[in-house]
Structure 1
Amino acid sequence: MGFKIKEVRKSLKMSQEELAEKSGISRGTIVALEAGTERVTTTKTLVALAAAMNVSIDQIFFADDV
């Protein structure tokens, strides 16, 4: 999941700081999710990240071949 967050964020040319500001999620949490060191998070966090990047949750959290 974290690699998709990073992939989408970078495709939008958005920094982790910008994503944190737009989503209300701490940069530390974003860093941990992208690095794969934080594997458990809330639905609220996932929804906030998707909304901040203006994408659907499906685009971030489900593989293309699912």
Structure 2
Amino acid sequence: MPFKIKEARTERGYTQEELARRANVSRATIAGLESGATVVTTTETLIKIADALGKKVSDIFLA
């Protein structure tokens, strides 16, 4: 499932580290989701990332 995290992150001018800090998740989580290496995560994590990007979960994580 392709997520649109990188696209939304770069629109905001955030590095992976900055997004991870704002979402209170690890940089490895962000990197894994962006690359497709990580496809399983919690709903809470998805919400935190979307909130940090100022987006709806459906804008980033649903096709």
Q: CA deviation at 1:39?
A: 1.1
SS of residue matched to 2:22: helix
Q: Could you tell me how far apart the structure 2 residues matched to 1:58 and 1:32 are?
A: 19
Aligned length: 63
Mapped pair 1:49 → 2:49: yes
Q: What is the alpha-carbon root mean square deviation over aligned residues?
A: 1.3
User: 1:59 maps to which residue?
Assistant: 59
Mapped pair 1:17 → 2:17: yes
Structure 1 gap ranges (5+): none
Larger radius of gyration: 1
Q: CA deviation at 1:17?
A: 0.7
Q: Could you tell me how far apart the structure 1 residues matched to 2:2 and 2:22 are?
A: 18
Q: Could you tell me how far apart the structure 1 residues matched to 2:58 and 2:3 are?
A: 14
TM-score by length of 2: 0.89
Structure of higher RCO (CA pairs closer than 8 Å, 6+ residues apart):
2
Amino acid at match of 1:53: L
Runs of 4+ in 1 over 2 A off after TM superposition: none
User: 2:39 maps to which residue?
Assistant: 39
Tell whether the 8 Å contact from 2:33 to 2:39 is kept in structure 1 after alignment.
Answer: yes
